[in-house]
Amino acid sequence: MGYTEAEKELSVYESMAARFDVAARQLKLDAGLYKYMRCPNREIIVHIPVEMDNGTVEVFDGYRVQHSIARGPSKGGVRYSPQVTLDEIRGLAAEMTWKCAVVNIPFGGAKGGVVCDPEKLSRGELERITRRYTAEILDYIGPERDVPAPDMNTGEQVMAWMMDTYSMHVRHTVTASVTGKPLDLGGSRGRREATGRGCMIVCDQALKRFGKTPESTRVIIQGFGNVGSQAARLMYEAGYRITGVADLHGGTYNSRGIDIPALLEYAHEAKGVKGFPGGEAAESCELLEQDCDVLLPAATESVITSRNASRIKARILVEGANSPTTPPADEILFDRGVFVIPDILANAGGVTVSYFEWVQDRQGYFWTENDVNDRLKHIQVAAFNDVVHYGEKHNVNNRIAAYMLAIDRVAFSLKLRGIYA
Ligand code: GLU
């Protein structure tokens, strides 16, 4: 059970670096900039002592990797998972730099993580882990430095605790220190749905290229957390036929289309999609290979590898998760003509609305949901067109085009700034 095959093809950092190398070669990137941009600026490792509910003390490992501040404060989520490693966080931090550059928002990239299993922790334990982690990295974060946000297994409540801890230390409320907060604490309208909405926006653009409509499009979604469930809901409302949904514990398939509002209600009660009466039971890995038009992996990394890529039947791959496809799988998908919308473009809706949240917090003036959604659409459609045109012009696939576009933008900022000595 689970999303990934036991043996990993390449680590997240290795995958990122392999793509970076291809893009850098295509760009004929200067050797010094190549070395500079391939590794992170700063890596922070902390060991967090926490008093558990039973009175014992546990120590959790935590990381925050800041890959780049070339274009602005570093930006990126914090994940809680037993699988977190420094290598993973390092790779995802670099991906955040490229993601922010692809959508052209004024941030660098970072990522954080704590090695823990939130399913086994009480609310109080989670709060204490969050506050101590925040306190340990406090000198390195802040609205002008590095701005954390939600990621896997973290959400609005964790962000509220992070913002409060930061604020208590500096002795005034700094809502812009963190994004993805609850609406009543300086959060932005539309942030919760933003990543899923962004996936739909780029998928709509891809359909236009293929002359298809949402009604004639079957979608399979892997992952039913924040990204997968919001994408499912919004796409269902827009007329897409969602034929399969899987989460960590199992999946459901219905060729006529799943009733997504009913599935949302069921998953809320049952704590997962497994056993949903409106579809047939299916394993997560089977669903990846099931016939469909759009495959939307929205769970975790390295689920599409050289071992299953040749069996993927979707024509369009929308990467809601970070790094769901390994570089060897990329080549197979490309040869088979799959239109890949890479993670740093497809799931950039989250960080884009995080940017809007940061702007609103700093202005103390909050936008309507329509404003947020319109601006998000504007940014993601422009980024989609930039990537696709760049790829056509340079005869590279969408993934390498996105990397090239991003690396070129970051390199330009670095050249303008020079190296401080
Ligand atoms: N964790 C999300 C991502 O991977 C959002 C990051 C943010 O909003 O800063 O893009």
Please give the distance, rounded to the nearest whole angstrom, from the Cα atom of residue 150 to the centre of ligand 1.
Answer: 6
Query: Is 135 within a domain?
Result: yes
Atom index in ligand 1 nearest the CA of residue 347 equals 10
Residue 3: its pLDDT value, please?
A: 64
| Residue 102 zone, left/alpha/beta (φ > 0; ψ -120 to 50; rest) | alpha
Q: Is 373 in the pocket of ligand 1 (CB under 6 A)?
A: no
Q: Residue 168 and residue 162: Cα distance in Å, rounded?
A: 10
Q: Give residue-wise pLDDT tens across range 257-289.
A: 999 999 999 999 999 999 999 999 999 999 999
Q: Are 133 and 238 in the same domain?
A: no
CB contact set of 149 (below 8 Å; sequence gap of 6+): 75, 76, 77, 78, 159, 178, 179, 180, 350, 351, 354
* Best mutation site among 354, 359, 360, 380 for ligand 1 pocket (most ligand atoms within 8 Å of CB): 354
Atom index in ligand 1 nearest the CA of residue 76 equals 9
Q: Are 268 and 153 in the same domain?
A: no
* Six-digit token string for 379: 């940014």
Query: Is 398 within a domain?
Result: no
Query: Is 261 within a domain?
Result: yes
Does residue 247 contact residue 267 with C-beta atoms inside 8 Å?
Answer: yes
Q: Is 149 in the pocket of ligand 1 (CB under 6 A)?
A: yes
Atom index in ligand 1 nearest the CA of residue 75 equals 9
Q: In percent, how much of the chain has pLDDT > 70?
A: 98
Query: Is 10 within a domain?
Result: no
How do strand 146-150 and strand 57-68 relate by DSSP bridges?
A: unpaired
Q: Is 351 in the pocket of ligand 1 (CB under 6 A)?
A: yes
Q: Are 341 and 206 in the same domain?
A: yes
Q: Are 218 and 337 in the same domain?
A: yes
Q: Are 230 and 102 in the same domain?
A: no
In what side-by-side order are the strands of the sheet with 339-341?
Answer: 280-282, 250-253, 241-247, 218-222, 294-297, 316-318, 339-341
By C-alpha distance, which of 235, 263, 336, 338 is closest to 293?
338
Query: Is 394 within a domain?
Result: no
Cα–Cα distances in angstroms (integers) from residue 419 to residues 32, 70, 90, 172, 415, in the given order:
11, 11, 22, 34, 8
Q: Are 198 and 164 in the same domain?
A: no
Q: Give residue-wise pLDDT tens across range 82-123.
A: 999 999 999 999 999 999 999 999 999 999 999 999 999 999
pLDDT of residue 1 exceeding 50, the answer is no
Q: Are 300 and 264 in the same domain?
A: yes
Q: 0.85 cut: is pTM over it?
A: yes
Q: Are 56 and 122 in the same domain?
A: yes
Q: Domain span at residue 136?
A: 41-173
Number of Cβ atoms within 10 Å of the Cβ of 152: 23
Active-site annotation holder among 111, 181, 274, 377: 111
28 is catalytic: no
Q: Is 130 in the pocket of ligand 1 (CB under 6 A)?
A: no
Q: Are 124 and 203 in the same domain?
A: no
Q: Which amino acid is at 261?
A: P
Q: Is 322 in the pocket of ligand 1 (CB under 6 A)?
A: yes
Burial of 157 (0-12, 13-18, 19+ CB in 10 A): middle
3-state secondary structure 325-337: ECHHHHHHHHHCC
Q: Are 303 and 201 in the same domain?
A: yes
Query: Is 169 within a domain?
Result: yes
What pLDDT band is residue 225 in, cutting at 50, 70 and 90? very high
Query: Is 181 within a domain?
Result: no
Q: Are 168 and 216 in the same domain?
A: no
Cα–Cα distances in angstroms (integers) from residue 307 to residues 43, 56, 316, 328, in the given order:
33, 44, 19, 9
Q: Are 206 and 322 in the same domain?
A: yes
By C-alpha distance, which of 73, 158, 91, 168 is closest to 123?
158
Residue 2: its pLDDT value, please?
A: 60
Of 346, 371, 393, which residue is a domain's last?
A: 346
Q: Give residue-wise pLDDT tens across range 70-80.
A: 999 999 999 99
Residue nearest to atom 10 of ligand 1 (CA): 351
Instruction: Write phi, then psi, for 48 (nearest 5 degrees).
Output: -105, 110
CATH number of the domain at 65, please. Answer: 3.40.50.10860
Residue nearest to atom 9 of ligand 1 (CA): 76
Residue 416: its pLDDT value, please?
A: 97
**Helical segments of 138-238, H only:** 156-170, 191-210, 226-237
Residue nearest to atom 8 of ligand 1 (CA): 351
| Residue 353 zone, left/alpha/beta (φ > 0; ψ -120 to 50; rest) | alpha
Query: Is 34 within a domain?
Result: no
Q: Residue 286 and residue 265: Cα distance in Å, rounded?
A: 24
Of 295, 325, 346, which residue is a domain's last?
A: 346
Of 308, 325, 346, which residue is a domain's last?
A: 346
Atom index in ligand 1 nearest the CA of residue 148 equals 9
* Structural domain count, the chain: 2
| 81: β partners | 115
Q: Give residue-wise pLDDT tens across range 334-349.
A: 999 999 999 999 999 9
Q: Which amino acid is at 320?
A: G
CATH number of the domain at 269, please. Answer: 3.40.50.720
